[in-house]
Amino acid sequence: MLYYEKVDNEKEEWVLFIHGLGGSTKTWKYQIEKFSKEYNLILVDLDGHGNSKENLDKSDYKPSDMAKGIDEVLVSESIDKVYIVALSLGTLIGLEYMRLYPDKVSSVILAGSIINLTPSRWFVLKAAKMTKYLMPIVVAYKIFAYIIMPKKNHKKARDIFVRESKNLNVKAFYQWVDSIGKSKKKLDEYIKTININHIPTLFVSGSEDYMFLKGIEKFCNNVKGLTIDKIKNCGHVVSIEKSDVFNSIALKFMKKKYIDIK
């Protein structure tokens, strides 16, 4: 089973947090205090990340595999329904969970989502995959982090992810990069799941998320009812760089009292 942590305040509802590539439960440190005032929390480490290492021989590093692994965690804790808050790579897994278990999802917030990559962005990911022949994983991930989070005001998030990447399994890094590129094939399935099951879904991205924002805007423009909130002067990891703004947006959306507070 995946490693997980929980904060049970005996509230009625649960929030599931799914981190990004190179992250762990620790990368949600700026959300725990705020969200736990109103919800119970459950945070998972994806395969190959943090403390989830025992499944490495079993997993094919597919978002659907991780969604099923997360459901095992929720079933073990007798959690019937969750609000999903996912970041970066975690947004693919959040979408997969929504697709596989729509009745178990109250709403979905996708922070720094990475679906619908343009060809040029996919080329960058392929280049990242090729680094396994050229340099150690720690060096490769540091370069990868700088490509995605290049500006000075991205440093806080970049440093956290570079630090956490020291616990990232090499196989996991390169196979998850490969999975990101294949995600475009399921866009129609995600759209159908949102529309048919009427699952409230919000995209939150930084205005400086140069790698992924363009694809998300295109995706949202083509789907009736989908919303994207762009946080100004913010890069890819909105939950760290602008945690106060992100937390306010997410909590108000979850309560169905969403307003524009950019």
Backbone Cα Rg of the chain: 17
Residue-wise pLDDT tens for the chain (262 aa)?
999 999 999 999 999 999 998 889 999 999 999 999 999 999 999 988 888 876 655 656 788 889 999 999 999 999 999 999 999 999 999 999 999 999 999 999 999 998 766 655 655 666 666 665 556 767 777 887 888 898 999 999 999 888 887 777 777 777 777 777 666 667 778 888 888 888 999 999 999 998 889 888 888 887 777 879 999 999 999 999 999 999 999 999 998 744 444 4
Spatial distance between the Cα atoms of 66 and 97, rounded to a whole number of angstroms = 8
Matching CATH number, 4-254, of 3.40.50.1820, 1.10.3720.10, 3.40.50.10580, 3.40.50.300:
3.40.50.1820
Q: Where are the beta strands (DSSP E) in 91-216?
A: 105-111, 201-206
Is the CB of residue 97 less than 8 Å from the CB of residue 186? no
Q: For residues 30 and 257, what is the distance between their CA atoms, to the nearest angstrom? A: 22
DSSP β-bridge partners for residue 107: 83
- Contact criterion met (CB below 8 Å) for 204 and 213: no
Taking a C-beta distance cutoff of 8 angstroms, is the pair 99, 201 a contact? no
Predicted TM-score of the model (pTM) = 0.89
- Taking the domains of the chain in order of start, what are their residue ranges? 4-254
